[in-house]
Amino acid sequence: MNVRRRLISTAALASATALGLTALTACSTSAADGKDGKLDVVASFYPMQYLAEQIGGGHVSVTNLTEPGQEPHDLDVSAKQRGQLEESDVAVYLKGLQPAVDDAIDQSGIGTKVDAASLTSTEKHGDEAGGHADEHGHEEEEGHEGHDHGHSHEGADPHIWLDPVKYAEVAEGVGKALEKADPKNAKTYEKNTAKLVKKLGALDTSFKDGLKDTKSTVFITTHAAFGYLAERYGLTEEAISGLDPEGEPSAKRVKDLQKMAKEDGVTTVFYETLVSDKTAKTLANDAGLKTDVLDPIEGITEGKSKGDDYIQVMESNLKALQKALGAK
């Protein structure tokens, strides 16, 4: 909806920044003071849509810029979508994942801009890490022990939603942002946020218990989407094509993966729902391995996962990992 806005005070701006969101303008009372009484929220892709809907409930109207089944990394923002941004009250996005979305939101006059990457710590995984590789081909930064647990930085792995703990931290930040944008419904947003965080905590426990005792801890994926998940639960992800889901692996990389799979007892090569499975299946066939789906949940498809939500797809991912890793 279109609402009248006025510039917020310096103190309010400082407070908004501390919450990990950029609020350039705000309405005089509540951003939801329009003809339908709902807060208009634009989400950049499914994981952001899920948060907005779960926390906002009936008080929000959520539009997803990424269509179901569409690969989000290469999304181009249309003129119509730019218009939607201008008419909306809140944008929830993940800076660094979709450059066109980042640009469109930066250039828009939308009142509340919530960057999920600023609401939790981010790290470098896969081919963005630089430095040297360990015995599994993991990239480690030279001259840096451990990981960078500061806030979002350029070149960081954006796939934070695949770690239930980090996703819960983002949920809390989104909840606070909605409370500020629509104070009259703040109690509902606070309650819904707490409920969602509890669900994500239970999901974390399921992964922790389900993967604590496995024959192998190494798994192969199409692209490096599961670095945060692997680190959280003591696993090692080996990606065929790094952070780029459309990237092509070198012949050396394929040979190294085949050797590693044999040495570490890898049984399965995982492919995903929104990109071609050709490379994964070729590697699996050449190495005598099985294939299965490990869904990065970048979008809910119209096929296998139709009707499922984030929690259900993550539970399917857990079962797939348990089977592939030989959980006891």
Write out the two tokens for 102. 């980042």
- The residues, any chain, with a CB within 8 Å of residue 83's CB and separated by 6 or more, are none
Q: Find out if CATH 1.10.10.410 is the number for domain 211-325.
A: no
Rounded to whole angstroms, the Cα distance separating 242 from 70 reads 20
For residue 90, is pLDDT > 80?
yes
**Closest CA relative to residue 296, chosen from 101, 163, 147:** 163
Residues of the chain with CATH 3.40.50.1980: 5-120+153-163, 211-325
Q: b/e for 298-316, b at 16 or more Cβ within 10 A?
A: bbbbeeebeebebbebbeb
Q: Virtual CA dihedral for 182, 57, 64, 280, nearest 10 degrees?
A: 130
DSSP 7-75: PPPHHHHHHHHHTTEEES-EESS-TT-SSS-PEEEEESSHHHHHHHHHHHGGGEEEEESSPTT--GGGP
* Residues facing 139 on adjacent strands: 133
**Closest CA relative to residue 269, chosen from 280, 253, 282:** 280
Helices 46-56, 186-210: axis angle to 10 degrees equals 130
What is the overall mean pLDDT for the chain? 82
DSSP designation for 218: E
- Nearest 5 degrees, angle CA 286-CA 288-CA 290? 110
How far apart, in Å, are the Cα atoms of 238 and each of 142, 216, 226? 20, 13, 9
pLDDT mean over 75-90? 94
Q: Write the pLDDT tens digit of every residue in 166-177.
A: 999 999 999 999
Q: What CATH number is given for 5-120+153-163 in this structure? A: 3.40.50.1980
- Nearest 5 degrees, angle CA 56-CA 59-CA 60? 65
* pLDDT at residue 146, rounded to an integer: 34
| Global model pTM greater than 0.95 | no
For residue 278, is pLDDT > 70?
yes
Q: Where are the alpha helices (DSSP H) in the chain?
A: 10-18, 46-56, 79-87, 99-107, 164-181, 186-210, 227-232, 251-264, 278-287, 310-325
pLDDT mean over 24-39? 59
Across 183-187, 242-246, 273-277, least confident range? 242-246
For residue 269, the surrounding DSSP H or E stretch is: strand 268-271
For residue 139, is pLDDT > 50?
no
* pLDDT at residue 132, rounded to an integer: 31
**Closest CA relative to residue 284, chosen from 273, 295, 270, 265:** 270
* pLDDT at residue 273, rounded to an integer: 80
Amino acid at 138: H
- Nearest 5 degrees, angle CA 181-CA 44-CA 67? 130
In angstroms and rounded to an integer, the radius of gyration of the C-alpha atoms of the chain is: 20
For residue 125, is pLDDT > 80?
no
* pLDDT at residue 322, rounded to an integer: 98
Band the pLDDT of 226: cuts 50, 70, 90: very high
pLDDT mean over 272-282? 84
CB atoms within 10 A of CB 114: 30
Helices 278-287, 251-264: axis angle to 10 degrees equals 50
